[in-house]
Amino acid sequence: MAKNIVLIGPMGVGKTTIGKKVAKALGKQFIDTDLVIQRDHGPVADIFERLGESEFRNYETAALVESLAQDAVIATGGGIVLRPENRKLLEQHWVVYLSTDGKHMASRLKNGNRPLLKNGMSDWKAIYEERKPLYQSLANFEIATNSKTVNQCVQEIKEMIGAE
Ligand SMILES: Nc1ncnc2c1ncn2[C@@H]1O[C@H](COP(=O)(O)OP(=O)(O)O)[C@@H](O)[C@H]1O
Ligand SMILES: O=C(O)C1=C[C@@H](OP(=O)(O)O)[C@@H](O)[C@H](O)C1
Ligand SMILES: [Mg+2]
């Protein structure tokens, strides 16, 4: 199995945006687990509403398995680290953790419908604090995105994996 580059990190940190650009720069396929779920089951917010979070997590694990079988750059959803079985799968790949100190996150979160953020930034902070140790323990690389542009993050990832 090829070693994929997998982006993890909290909601809105830039996994989808940066992942797409890294894939392009490396000439690899780009996969977003949320889009795989959406392709098969409809919009993420609708799944949360109709079926609840635990069914969404089932779909997410299936999407992760399918994605990791490719040779790709993969953007995950922020909650991918919650399930032990997902973490076990990720251990075999290059895991890049996009971190943030929380500044500028409100503007990064403006677009997109995130069903877990009913109370905005206070939910975001609490969820991130809870998951941070999981992101840290899985990461092969960490990129502090706070004061960097999207393109700087892309460049750093390329350098980290030795593509430069
Ligand atoms: N380093 C960055 N600096 C400024 N804006 C960023 C940065 N990274 C991402 N963004 C912006 O933040 C928004 C959220 O990014 P997105 O890729 O959807 O995050 P995620 O997939 O992690 O939830 C996008 O509009 C993106 O352009
Ligand atoms: O953090 C989470 O639990 C989630 C993050 C979202 O993806 P992004 O991290 O790309 O926003 C999406 O998978 C869903 O809304 C749940
Ligand atoms: Mg995303």
pLDDT tens for each residue of 8-27: 999 999 999 999 999 999 99
State whether the Cα torsion 156-158-161-164 is positive or negative. negative
Ligand 2 atom nearest the C-alpha of 37 is 13
Distance CA 83, CA 119 (A): 24
- CATH of the domain spanning 5-160: 3.40.50.300
Cα radius of gyration rounded to whole Å, the chain: 15
Distance (angstroms) between ligand 1 centre and the Cα of 56 equals: 22
Distance (angstroms) between ligand 2 centre and the Cα of 14 equals: 11
Mean of pLDDT values over 104-128: 91
pLDDT tens for each residue of 53-67: 999 999 999 999 999
- Asked if the model's pLDDT at residue 1 lies above 70, the reply is no
ipTM: 0.96
What integer pLDDT is reported at residue 104 of this predicted model? 87
pTM score = 0.97
What integer pLDDT is reported at residue 119 of this predicted model? 87
